[in-house]
């Protein structure tokens, strides 16, 4: 089970985030999935698949060539933990600000609970403070 769950999360980052494949998101995200630790451009917490899709569109709109690299991955039972590096260039007018054309690189950790081959719950801790500092010119 752990190996299969790792494969699901690897697909998630490669196909959904790196390749921009929304169909894979529909395939891998549970219809009643609960999301923790992410906020959209208005500051509203992402809590379900609908608000996750909105968050995703805003984030990929700001960073259309985003690349997420998994540095470490651990799985046990129905949970998978991944430590990631995120890189991108802010070329889109999204996330509540005009494009800065700034490059960003920041880290994060996600824990996902997988059931029936889909992500059912996720806890996210990404360094968005570091990302925003880079967008603000390092201030």
Domains of the chain: 2-135 (3.10.450.50)
pLDDT at 47: 87
pLDDT at 45: 86
Q: With bands split at pLDDT 50, 70 and 90, how would you rate the model's confidence at 139?
A: low
**Model pTM score:** 0.92
pLDDT at 43: 82
pLDDT of 21 strictly over 80? yes
Q: With bands split at pLDDT 50, 70 and 90, how would you rate the model's confidence at 99?
A: very high
pLDDT at 42: 81
Which tokens hold the place of 138? Answer: 């390092």
The Cα–Cα gap between 79 and 88 comes to 27
pLDDT at 134: 96
Residues in the chain: 139
Q: Using a pLDDT cut of 70, give the percent of the chain over it.
A: 99
pLDDT of 138 strictly over 70? no
Reading phi first (left if > 0) and then psi (alpha if -120 to 50, else beta), residue 85 is in: beta
The Cα–Cα gap between 27 and 5 comes to 14
**What mean pLDDT is predicted for residues 77-105?**
95
**What mean pLDDT is predicted for residues 20-32?**
95
pLDDT at 94: 87
The Cα–Cα gap between 87 and 97 comes to 18
Q: Who contacts 48 (Cβ-Cβ below 8 Å, separation ≥6)?
A: 32, 33, 34, 35
């Amino acid at each position: 089970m752990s190996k299969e769950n790792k494969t699901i999360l690897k697909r998630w980052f490669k196909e959904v985030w790196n390749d921009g494949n929304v169909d894979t998101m529909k395939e891998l995200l549970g219809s009643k999935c609960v999301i923790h630790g992410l906020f959209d451009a208005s500051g509203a917490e992402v809590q379900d698949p609908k608000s996750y899709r909105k968050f995703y569109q805003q984030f990929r709109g700001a960073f259309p060539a985003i690349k997420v690299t998994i540095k470490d991955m651990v799985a046990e039972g129905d949970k998978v933990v991944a430590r990631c590096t995120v890189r991108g260039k802010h070329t889109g007018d999204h996330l509540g600000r005009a494009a800065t054309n700034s490059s960003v690189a920041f880290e994060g950790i996600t824990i996902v609970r997988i059931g029936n081959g889909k992500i059912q719950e996720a806890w996210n801790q990404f360094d968005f403070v570091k990302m925003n500092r880079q967008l603000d010119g390092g201030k």
